[in-house]
Amino acid sequence: AQSVTQLGSHVSVSEGALVLLRCNYSSSVPPYLFWYVQYPNQGLQLLLKYTSAATLVKGINGFEAEFKKSETSFHLTKPSAHMSDAAEYFCAVLSGTYKYIFGTGTRLKVLA
């Protein structure tokens, strides 16, 4: 069975500091991995996805993630946090054609 684990339900960073949100996966087959962001009372927006084409994936809003098979990780990073990055972030793995297995989410707080 496939699963993802997000370490840290809450992460706080200062504005301008590095953002690192952790996601580890478990999969018996090559995984397809996604990061989504959710702002309060809104739907989910895709930040980036890993589909085996490249291990370093660049997404929207300056975010990127690196797929590391040896560490079974797909951590999300951004060099410099902005106040507008404050939101909930979900890592997900695709199970079959349609089903996402979501992590429990990480709430990012950006301090002025």
Residues in contact with another protein by the rule CB under 8 A: 32, 34, 36, 41-46, 49, 51-52, 90, 94, 96-100, 102-105, 107
If the CB atoms of residues 70 and 98 are measured against another protein, the closer one turns out to be: 98
Find the shortest distance in angstroms from Cβ 16 to another protein: 27
If the CB atoms of residues 17 and 100 are measured against another protein, the closer one turns out to be: 100
Per-residue b/e over 65-104, b at no fewer than 16 CB within 10 Å? bebeeeeebbbbebeebeeebbbbbbbbbbbeeeebbebe
Residue 57 corresponds to which tokens in the numbers above? 């994936």
Find the shortest distance in angstroms from Cβ 37 to another protein: 11
If the CB atoms of residues 17 and 105 are measured against another protein, the closer one turns out to be: 105
Q: Is the dihedral of CA 57, 92, 73, 50 positive or negative?
A: negative
